[in-house]
Every structure is written in structure tokens, then in C-alpha cells.
Structure 1
Amino acid sequence: MAIPEELMIDIFSRLPAKSVGRFRCLSKLWREILSTPEFIKSHLNLQTNPQQNLLLVAALNTIHTISDVKNGTVSRKIQLIDEWEEAIGSCDGLVLLLNEKSEKILVNPITLQKEKIPDPPLALNKTESHSMHGFGYDGSIDDYKIVVVSYYDTDEYYPDNFDTFVDVYCVKKGVWKRVDNSPYDLSSARRCTGACVSGAVHWLAPSKKQGDYRSVIAAFDLAREVFDEIPVPNDVSMDSGCYQLVVLGGCLCITDAGRSLHQDNNKTDIWIMHEYGMAESWTKFTIDCGYEWSMLKPLCYIGDEEVVLICEGGEVLLVYNLKEKSLKNMVVDGASAYVLDGCVFVESLLSPCFGAP
């Protein structure tokens, strides 16, 4: 007796993305059923506890992925023709990458489908400006959005223009639009990638609203397309550190990436906002890097006690044990020890080329 199609779809929706990909190869009928937009969305929604994966931009600007993150693991080099410089972020299994030409590519590391994102029609001249990026999901319209914040990198020869322009790209619609300029001095955000949490992309920057240029977290709400403010820890000041925002375990995280540059020791402070928007939920831990490593960027947790970090001074992966307060190299077979950047992603069947399975 044949299995009802509804039951078959429910079963397949609970399998890992790689397994579904193999089943697609068994018959034309299964490929059609397992490639519909409805199935792909159902598969994504049913992954209640998705496996954590890492994407790394490694030596020679190559891309590697790691499944089942743990200390002593194996990576897989994926064939993406280009020289990559930055992993901007991930959402629902899609990763936004930046290459050496500052071109944006949206890719699914599991299916290896990719899509080049066009530049905004009002983009500033790349030789006279700088841009920062963010990537996330807008549930109000069921679309993924790329945010580009740009400003003139001015000197005496360039326009006396200190505006910060904001362009938003709706991935499914394939449309750019310019929204209101940022009320924050994002040129002071250390040219960092935006951290996407709770439907907003975040940058740490001085506020121009009150005229006192106090440090705030500028949160660009993807649905409303306006900036809000998120409180920073009391001991964070743009004048006394080299801070950047990242996402760690689904929480907003601040790291003092340059503490070793302005203090006599090589320690890195890391703050985590455990309840989004709640100032009292910030907690801090400090990593003593010693003299071998500095400028640490958190990537993900291993279990409850260990954090994987990129050492931006030595470009290696490290594991910090929160309980033992110990730091060690992370052993990764198949990838160079020289790591430029990275991000966490989940397995999915979602295509960056919307309209194609």
C-alpha cells in the first residue's frame, strides 16, 4: 500500500537537509515533491533543534564548512569560485558573503546554490566611501533583507557630507530602496558587520540625537525600517575601546576586540545580553589571551561550557572553557589554521535564487 503523500512529506520534513538531497535523486516524483516551496518551508519550520554548523573564510580566501561543531573536527572545502573576504551573516541556512571586489553573494552552503546581489542603484562611489552590511529576515512580509549602511570616507578633497545612507534590499522581490538616513554616527562603528538578532540589525555607535555622542546600540528594525536604541553595558564607551557586535548563541554580544592594544595585558572582555532589550541582562566574562593571541571574536558554543572564537591577531580558531577559564587551539582537519572570518549557519534547503528549488 502506497504511503499517503501528506504523511510522506511530514516524514521527509523532519530529516536533515543532506538526507533530503539524497532522496531527491531516487526518483523524478520524489524530486518534484521534495523541491516545492511548500515542502522547503515546512522542512525549515520543523527543524526545532537544528544542528549547528560553521562556515569559515580561510587561507587563500577559500570557504570551508564544519558540521557538528566540536573540538577535534573535520571541515569540508566547498567549491565557490571567487576570493572571499567576509562572512556578513546567515539566516535560515542562507549565508551572505562578500568577495574581494566588494560584491555580495547569497549562498546555501548545503545545496551550493548561490545568487549575486546587485549593488543599490544609489550606491556611493566605492573609491570615495565605505559600506557596512547586515542580513536578516522580515517576518512581517516573509522576506529576507540585506541592509547596506554607507557614508563618504571624506577628506579635504571629498564632499563635506557626514550623512549615513541606508539602503535595503528585499531578496524575494529583488528590489532596492533607500530609507531615511541614520541618526547615528555609524562611521565610528569600526566598519563592522551588523549583528542580526530579534528581527533587527545592530551596530555600536555614538548617538547624534542628544548632541552628547553617548554610546548606544543602533538597532535597525527590518520590518519597520527605522532605527531604535538598545542600551549598552555601563562600562562600554566608544572612547575607551575597540568594540564590535556579534551574535553568540542567539544573543547580542559585545567584544572589546582591541583591549590588548590600549592596555598592558592581552585580555578580551565579552558582554552578552541574555534578554534582548533588557539593560540589566548584560553579563560579562574576560578571556586572558596571554601573549600569543589577541582580539578575539566569539562564534558559537560547544555544549554549555565552551566558546569557539576566531583570533583576529593570529587568525586561528580557539576554544575557551568558561568553567575552567582555559584557552586552547581548536583542531580542524581539512582546513588551514589561518582563518579570516566565519559565521554560524543551519542546514536548510532554502534557495537564494527564489523561484528555483
Structure 2
Amino acid sequence: MAGKNRTGGKHRLRKVTKSSSQPPVVQQVLIPPDIITEILSMLPPKAFARFRCLSKSFNSFLTESRLIQNLALHPTQKLEIQKLLFNNDHHTCPPRSLNLEKIDLDHCSLGVYFFEKLDLPYVSSSVASCNGLLIDYYYSGTFILLNPSTGEYRSEARPYGEFFGFGYDLTNEDYKILVGSWSNVEHVDHNICIAKVFSFQNKRWKSINPDPSAKLKPIGEGAVYVCGALHWIALDCCHYHSCRYSYYHDNHGRYYRQYISALGGRLCMTMHHSITKSTDIWVMEKYGDAKSWIKLQTICRYYNSDLKYCLSSICYTKNGCIVCRSPYHLGLDIYDPRNKSWSVLEFPRDLQPMCLRAAYEENFVSLRELLGDQIN
């Protein structure tokens, strides 16, 4: 099998040719690492994990930090979310995952056998996701890093924060957590943001100095990670009203609730209209281009007509339906844009009420290999 070429950085495949009158001739074929990465990026995560057992040299190659990150961020890698993480608010059962491939829209319920029990601690609603890893920020004085695919988790002390974000620093090839809060400063007409960043590479917190003139305050706790950046919805700190978004073109009514998410690898906004009771789903087609916001869908008159609990878009199913966060925690709400219809897949009675905590991709690389040997 392939072995590591320490001088050329390539892997060798030995090709054996036989002749009736001569002994076998061994020819070595060099495969560049970028070609191997291209091949591996097309495979499912479980297959990628099995290849590590082929040989010590191949396992070493597969666990190199740079290769792992290249696979996680590879442009040919599928953007579809593969798993949903659920938790029971009553702590009566452990966290469970649901494979989207198993969802059958022709049935109105989900059996217990659809849910995989995870050997993980209780997962709260304060969760952020990046490359198959989850950060739970709920616990006082600590955060918990989880890999649902491997069942691993780590805890780390954290400072106080009113909002947080979790993502991957492409420049420094490092996973990081941002924690922010607000403080009153003398002679300033608005609160000043105080922020700290935790580096998993250096395993320490570092204070950063945001622009003191900034007057925008994030809504909610967790940020959404898309295209190497963290995103929040923000309010004007001085006048406390929603800012005018670049995608907002409707002057005949007002949106009274907005939710931000990542949908199919794109930045997504779910907007709820106060008059028509409809819901608009916007996505940014070209990241960073404010003019590329397009209205993906308008959902009229959701079955909960008063919209007391509003929808938020989570991910796509394999047939293009949109999975939304359930307002009642009794099922999974799925919208089919082809016929503009809703499907509500009910949870098993012994698992209710189940809460959808996060959507994530499968990642079978261990936390130690992903984050370096410094993590305990």
C-alpha cells in the first residue's frame, strides 16, 4: 500500500509486473498529496476513517493537521448537513442524532430506531457548529467542545460573555472561540464591546479591541459560521432598533423577527412578516456581495398562524426540502418548495419533548488530531 515519501512529500504505490522468464519487476508510482486529498474529499467520512487502518504511514498521512483541514474545507466537499442533534429538556434521555438520509416524507412519524443514542453530556440551546464540531456555551464558567461523530468532548474554562461564536481561522489554521460582552464607559454615549478569543492551537484566551465607535449590538448568543467568518444580527445600541439590511426591499410592512443561519453552505436570513404572517427565506448567493441577496422562498400562513414561535431554517434534506426548527418540540417541520407544502414528522412519545439543538456534518477525526496534542 501507499507509504510516505519523506523526501518528496509524495506517496508511493508499488506496481508489480510479472514475466514468464524474468523475476517480478517493481515500479514505484508517485501520487502527489493534493491528488490524494482530491480523492479522499469525494468519500464519505466513515470510509475516510477506515483508511487510517491500512498502514502506519498512511495513518500518519491522514492525521496530518494540514490535510485534515484541507478535507474539511475542500471546495469539492459536500455542503449538505448530514446529521441533526437533539436533546430532551427534561434530561430524561441522552442526546441523540438523526441521519437526514433516513427521513421519509411519506411517513408521519419518526420511530425510536431512527435516533442514534450519543454518549455525550446534556447539550443546551447555546450551541455553535463548525466542520462537524460543536461548542456548548451553556455551562457556567466553562464551555464544552464536542465531536458527536466520535463521542469525544472536552471542557475548558471561559470568561463571562453575553454572546459567543465558534469557527475556524483559515489564516492561522486554528479553531477559535470568540466571547463578547458590553460595558458602560464614561463619556461614551453607548456601551463598549469587550471581547476575548480562545485559540485551541495556543490553548489560551487573548483580549481583542473592537472598534470603540461601533454602535451595533448582536442579538442572541451564538454566531453563525459561514465562509470563514462569524455572523450575528445586530441592533443599533443608541436607538435600539433593527438596522436596515441590504436585502430588505419591502416597504409595505415590517419584519418583526429575523433569524440567521447557514443553509446549504450559504448565509441565510429567515424573516417573519408582522402583517401578512408570511415568512421569507433569504440567502446570499455570492458571499460578501450585499447585492447578491435573493429571496429563496416565501412561506405563507404557517399552520401556527399567530407565529408566536417563529421558524428558523436549519438545513436541506436530500430531495431539496427545507428543515425548520420546530416551534412545539414535538416533531420535525419540513417545507417542500416544489409543492409549497408542510410535513410534520412527529417524535416518538417516549422521546418527547425533543429539542433540535444543532445541525452538523460527520467528522470522524479525533479531537486530539484536529486540535493538536496540546488538548487534554
Aligned counterparts, 1:174-323, within 5 A: 174-181=203-210, 183-186=214-217, 189=219, 191-207=220-236, 215-216=242-243, 231-235=246-250, 241-256=256-271, 267-276=278-287, 277-283=289-295, 284-291=297-304, 294-303=309-318, 305-314=320-329, 316-323=331-338
Query: Is 1:355–2:372 an aligned residue pair?
Result: yes
Identify unmatched segments of 5+ residues in structure 1: 124-129, 155-159, 218-229
The Cα offsets for residues 135-157 of structure 1, whole Å up to 9 and x where unpaired, read as 112211111221222236x9xxx
Aligned-residue offset at 1:256: 3.4
CA 1:45–1:310 in structure 2 vs 1: closer, same or farther (change >3 Å)? closer
Give the direction of change, closer, same or farther, for the CA distance of 1:271–1:91 in structure 2 (3 Å limit). same
Letter matched to residue 205 of structure 1: A
Q: Deviations over 1:231-254 (max 9, x none)?
A: 3423499x8512221111122222
* Partner AA of 2:127 in structure 1: I
What is the one-letter code of the residue matched to 2:291? A
**Aligned AA (1:134):** G
Q: Is the 8 A contact 1:18 1:110 kept in 2?
A: no
2:152 is equivalent to residue 131 of structure 1? no
1:178 to partner: Cα distance? 2.2
* CA spacing shift, 1:321–1:94, aligned 2, 3 Å: same
2:339 maps to which residue? 324
**CA, structure 1 residues 304+13, in 2 after alignment: closer, same or farther (shift >3 Å)?**
closer
| Pairing partner for 1:91 from 130, 149, 172 | 130
Residue 110 of structure 1, aligned match among 149, 165, 180: 149
Do the aligned partners of residues 314 and 78 (structure 1) sit closer, same or farther apart at CA in structure 2, a change above 3 Å counting?
Answer: closer
Structure 2 segments unaligned to the other structure (5+ residues): 5-10, 14-32, 105-109
User: How much does 1:16 deviate?
Assistant: 3.0
Runs of 4+, deviation exceeding 6 Å? 26-30, 211-214, 332-335
**What is the CA deviation profile of residues 9-55 of structure 1, one whole-angstrom value per residue up to 9, with x for unaligned ones?**
83767543323444556776765554443553455456823363223
TM-score (norm 1): 0.73
Deviations 1:154-200 (A, max 9, x none): 9xxxxx9833322222222222222224613326x2x2421222222
**In 2, Cα distance between the equivalents of 1:253 and 1:297?**
10
Cα distance in 2 for residues equivalent to 1:7 and 1:330? 50
Q: 1:27 to 1:117 in 2, by over 3 A?
A: same
Deviations along 1:209-229, one digit per CA (max 9) or x if unpaired, are xx7766448xxxxxxxxxxxx
Q: Is the 8 A contact 1:70 1:302 kept in 2?
A: no
- Seen in structure 2, the aligned counterparts of structure 1 residues 42 and 185 have a Cα distance that, compared at 3 Å, is closer
1:63 alignment partner in structure 2: 95
Paired residue secondary structure (1:271): strand
CA deviations on 1:239-281 (whole Å, 9 max, x unpaired) are 8512221111122222236x5xx55x75433322222232353
CA distance in 1, matches of 2:141, 2:312: 22
Counterparts in 2 of 1:243 and 1:92: CA distance versus 1, 3 Å = same
Q: Distance in 2 between matches of 1:71 and 1:212?
A: 45
Shift of 1:346: 2.0
User: Alignment partner of 1:18: what SS?
Assistant: helix
Q: Aligned in 2, Cα 1:212/1:231: closer, same or farther, shift over 3 Å? A: farther
TM-score, length basis structure 2: 0.70
CA radius of gyration, larger in: 2
Sort the Cα spacing of 1:37 and 1:252 in 2 relative to 1 into closer, same or farther, 3 A.
closer
**Superposed displacement of residue 315, structure 1:** 5.2
CA deviation after TM superposition for structure 1 residue 90, in Å: 1.9
Question: Are the equivalent residues in 2 in contact too, given 1:266–1:288 (CA < 8 A)?
Answer: yes
CA deviation string 1:63-94 (max 9, x = no partner): 2223344533723121112x321253222222
* CA distance in structure 1 between the aligned counterparts of 2:118 and 2:349, rounded to whole angstroms: 11
